[in-house]
Amino acid sequence: MPVRAAGVFPSKRELRLVDHPEPRLSAPDQALVRMLEVGVCGTDREICSFAFGEPPAGSDYFVLGHEGLGEVVEAGPEAKGLRRGDLVVPMVRLPCSDAACASCGTGRQDFCLTDSFPEHGIRRAHGFMVERTVEPARFLVPVPARLRDVAVLVEPLTIAEKALFQVEAVQKRLPYPRKPGRALVVGAGPVGLVAAMAFLVRGYEVVVTARSPGDTPNARLAAAIGASYVSGRETPPEALARKLGQIDLIYEAAGSVQAAFAAMESLGTNGVCVLTGVPALQPRIPANVELIMRNVVLRNQALVGTVNAGRDAFEAAIRDLGAFLDRWPAALRGLVTGRHRLEDFRELVLGRPSGIKDVIAL
Ligand SMILES: [Zn+2]
Ligand SMILES: [Zn+2]
């Protein structure tokens, strides 16, 4: 029996429910997974405006969705570590097929050297807005049952986890014992808010800044977890260092060039700025590049871009979600503000975002 799925037809510029072929185990290391929840983010909205996205070879559509949570219904004899009933989060990026790729060859397709990798729900691989799917066990990360109602946030959190690994690696350069210090999160969407939580549990003092005023649900949530919220309307990002003092880490999660470069003016001595957003190409936006370059040099700053995440970041995200649930149960659950039917995916991705995180519940 076919399964229902959210189909994206780029050549026809069409979005609709499709009857997708029944997924079946075809190798001993695979597991059959019933999808439970799939998060919706800006990437899905861009895909559904046909800015990018590519079906697998031989198909005129692909299934949307890359922020998945599912339950194993059948595990093949070599699906290591998985049993029927286990909750799992599927990884997004798959290895490229180039045998010479030193990253994919070691399971680190998030550092793929070829740009020919598939990504579930984005390019060349079906996504997770489907009733059931089949995946090799090595791309399924087990989740404790107590995280059932928040684990749809694992994928957006992996971005911050990979960023934290990068920051650790960069800051090994410092000749003195490092304290967590002050982190500035630019953007108060779900990616920014879960990153703020990750920095807080590591002992950072966290400031979240975004354009909106301080009375939005996102700003209130930032305050509820113990971060300070600064509205860009009152204090623009370039003025934050004057207001706050030394900023050790900037985590850009707004996808806005203007906000990112303005914030970079505020980065302090020996600081690291992590960029995670992918802005659309557009006419040049004025930025204070001379000042930023002076600061990068004179203050030993590092600028790091990060995309996708390896299995280590998924495992770290699952551990951290457990810590967040212990510390901020209401705020963490409050990040998911809407659960919608698969039938309504089109209206959801085409409509204006409302609330914090929308999720398709299957
Ligand atoms: Zn996403
Ligand atoms: Zn590769």
Question: What is the DSSP secondary-structure string of 134-150?
Answer: EEEGGGEEEE-GGGTTT
* pLDDT by 10-residue block (mean), the chain, 362 residues: 97 98 97 98 96 96 98 98 98 97 96 96 98 98 98 98 98 95 97 98 98 94 97 95 96 92 97 93 85 96 96 98 98 97 97 91 97
Closest CA to 331 of 357, 362, 349, 352: 357
Separation of CA 98 and ligand 2 centre (Å): 6
Ligand with an atom nearest the CA of residue 109: 2
Residue pair 8/52 in contact (Cβ under 8 Å)? The answer is no
Residue 195: exposed, middle, or buried by beta-carbon count in 10 A (0-12, 13-18, 19+)? buried
Ligand with an atom nearest the CA of residue 96: 2
Please give the structure tokens belonging to residue 195.
């990153």
Separation of CA 40 and ligand 1 centre (Å): 6
Separation of CA 172 and ligand 1 centre (Å): 30
287: left (phi over 0), alpha (psi -120 to 50) or beta: beta
Report the pLDDT value the prediction gives residue 282, as an integer from 0 to 100. 83
Report the pLDDT value the prediction gives residue 284, as an integer from 0 to 100. 82
Beta strands in 187-261 (DSSP E): 205-210, 228-231, 249-252
Q: Exposed e or buried b for every residue in 346-355, given b needs 16+ CB within 10 A? A: bebbeeebee
Separation of CA 355 and ligand 2 centre (Å): 37
> Phi/psi at 38 (nearest 5 deg)?
-140, 125
DSSP H/E element including 200: helix 190-201
Separation of CA 309 and ligand 2 centre (Å): 13
Ligand with an atom nearest the CA of residue 99: 2
Report the pLDDT value the prediction gives residue 255, as an integer from 0 to 100. 83
Pairing label, strands 228-231, 205-210 = parallel
Ligand with an atom nearest the CA of residue 94: 2
Dihedral sign from CA coordinates of 200, 202, 206, 211? negative
Separation of CA 109 and ligand 2 centre (Å): 6
Separation of CA 240 and ligand 1 centre (Å): 28
Q: Which residue in the block uniquely carries the two structure tokens 């590591």? A: 202
Q: How far is CA 236 from the centre of its chain?
A: 25
Report the pLDDT value the prediction gives residue 354, as an integer from 0 to 100. 82
Separation of CA 96 and ligand 2 centre (Å): 4
Crossing angle, helix 190-201 and helix 217-224, to 10 degrees?
10
Report the pLDDT value the prediction gives residue 280, as an integer from 0 to 100. 83
Model confidence pLDDT, tens digit, residues 110-119: 999 999 999 9
Could you give the 3-state DSSP secondary structure of residue 206? strand
Report the pLDDT value the prediction gives residue 70, as an integer from 0 to 100. 98
Distance in angstroms between the alpha carbons of the first and the last residue of the chain: 17
Ligand with an atom nearest the CA of residue 64: 1
Ligand with an atom nearest the CA of residue 101: 2
Q: Measured between alpha carbons, how far is residue 257 from residues 103, 290, 313 in Å?
A: 29, 16, 26
Ligand with an atom nearest the CA of residue 156: 1
Separation of CA 43 and ligand 1 centre (Å): 6
| Alpha carbon distance 199, 222 (integer Å) | 12
Ligand with an atom nearest the CA of residue 157: 1
Model confidence pLDDT, tens digit, residues 15-65: 999 999 999 999 999 999 999 999 999 999 999 999 999 999 999 999 999
